Amino acid sequence: MVMINFTPIILKNNYSREDVHSIFSPDTQFTPQAGTWGLHGIIKIPSREDDFVFFVTYGQSQGDHDFDEGITDDGVLSWQSQPRQGFDNAVIQTLINHNETTNNIYLFLREEKKGDYQYLGRLKYLTHDKDREKPVYFQWQILDLDEGSYTEVQQIDSSEEDQSIGTIEKVDQMPDSKIVGISKDNFRTKKSPDYALKESKNRKLGQIGEELVLKYEKDKLISYGKKDLAEKIVHTSKVEGDGAGYDIKSFNKDGSIKYIEVKATRGNINTDFYMSPRELRFAELNKDSFCLYRVFDLKKKTNNGKFFIFNGDINNSFNKIPTGFRLSKK
C-alpha cells in the first residue's frame, strides 16, 4: 500500500526526492537511486499536462559534459537539458513553449550531490540559446521570490548608476510574438531576467524612463520649430501623481494633443510590463490620442537605452494576462 502525503510544498523548505515524489505522484512507487523520481532531473508530473519538476544539483557532469548552472541576484536560472536532448526533442519543444500562466515548472535545487533539495518556486521561460543543443541551454525566471527579495533586488545602487539623464534611441520594430531564442554570444553575455513584476513597483526606474521620454519629446518639437509647444509639455505623473492614467501630455507637430504612457525596463524588447486598470481604461477610451512609449535595454550606469512607440488600440497588439483579482462581498 502506498502512503499518500498531503503536505504542501513550501517555498525555501528542504525536500528529498522521495518527499517530492509523495507530493506530486503519491499513487506510484518510489525507488531510491532508480527510476524517474529517483534519478531524473526533468520529470513530467503524471496526469498534469505539461507540468514538470526540475531537480538541479550544481557541479554535476554526465559523460563528457560538465553542467554549468547558476542563479543571478535577479532570480534568473541558467539551466541545461540532458546532453542527449536537441531541439527536435518533444520535451524540449514543450519547455521552449512553456506558458507559466497555464502550466507549472517546480524548481528544486541543491548545491552538493548529497543531501536534500531546496524548493525555490515556479519558473517562467525567458529564452534559450538557438545555436547550441545536446544539451539545450535555457534561461528561466524564478517567479516565486518573496516580496522582500524583490525589494532588495530592485533597489538602485547610486554608486553604480549615473544619476544624470541619458539618451534613448528610437527603433521601428515591435516585440516579437514568436519564440525564436537568441544567439550564443548574446545568451552567454546577456542574462536578462523578466523584470515585469519587480519593475512594476520600481518608481525610480519609471521616473528615469519618463525623464528620457520627456527630453525626447521636447527636443523633437524644438527641431520642428515648435518651441512654444515644447514649453507646454506637462509631466503629468510628476504634477498630479499616478492617478491620471498617463505620464506625459505632449503634442504632435500639428499641435494636437497626445497622451503618453511610459513603461521602462532594463530587460529586452520582449519583456512584459504591467498596466494598472486605470491606465488600461484610459488607453482604451483615448486610443486616437494615446501613445505607449516602451523604453528597454536601459543601462544602469549610463541611463542610455532604446524605445519603440505604439499608437492606437492597445488591445489589438498586446495580450492582457490577469494576474490577480480584488474581491468585495456581494
Domains in the chain, start-ordered, CATH in brackets?
14-145 (2.30.280), 168-316 (no CATH)
Is residue 56 within 8 A of residue 69, CB to CB? The reply is yes
| CB neighbour list of residue 177: distance below 8 Å, 6 or more residues apart | none
| Whole-number Å distance between alpha carbons of 9 and 46 | 17
Q: Which tens digit of pLDDT belongs to each residue from 82-100?
A: 889 999 999 999 999 998 8
Q: Which tens digit of pLDDT belongs to each residue from 179-194?
A: 667 676 666 655 555 5
Residue type, 40: H
pLDDT at 72: 81
> Which residues is 65 bridged to in the sheet?
62
pLDDT at 240: 67
When pLDDT is cut at 50, 70 and 90, the band that residue 301 belongs to is: confident
When pLDDT is cut at 50, 70 and 90, the band that residue 197 belongs to is: low
| DSSP letter string, 130-173 | TT-TTTTEEEEEE----HHHHHHHH---TTTS--S---EEE---
Dihedral Cα 162, 167, 173, 176, nearest 10 deg: 10
How does strand 105-110 pair with strand 52-57? parallel
pLDDT at 263: 94
pLDDT at 7: 53
When pLDDT is cut at 50, 70 and 90, the band that residue 147 belongs to is: very low
Mean per-residue pLDDT, 58-68: 72
Quote the mean pLDDT of the chain: 81
> Does position 77 have pLDDT exceeding 70, yes or no?
yes
What percent of the chain has pLDDT above 90? 35
> Does position 238 have pLDDT exceeding 60, yes or no?
yes
- Residue bearing the bigger pLDDT, 17 or 26: 17
Secondary structure letter of residue 316 according to DSSP: G
φ, ψ of residue 153 to 5 degrees: the values are -65, -40
Which element (helix H / strand E) includes 203?
helix 203-223
Give the number of C-alpha atoms closer than 13 A to the C-alpha of residue 287, restricted to the C-beta side.
10
pLDDT at 214: 96
When pLDDT is cut at 50, 70 and 90, the band that residue 61 belongs to is: low
When pLDDT is cut at 50, 70 and 90, the band that residue 276 belongs to is: confident
Q: Is 7 exposed, middle or buried (0-12, 13-18, 19+ CB in 10 A)?
A: exposed
Which element (helix H / strand E) includes 110?
strand 105-110
Among 1-15, 152-166, 204-218, 226-240, the minimum mean pLDDT is found in 152-166
Give the number of C-alpha atoms closer than 13 A to the C-alpha of residue 74, restricted to the C-beta side.
21
> Does position 248 have pLDDT exceeding 90, yes or no?
yes
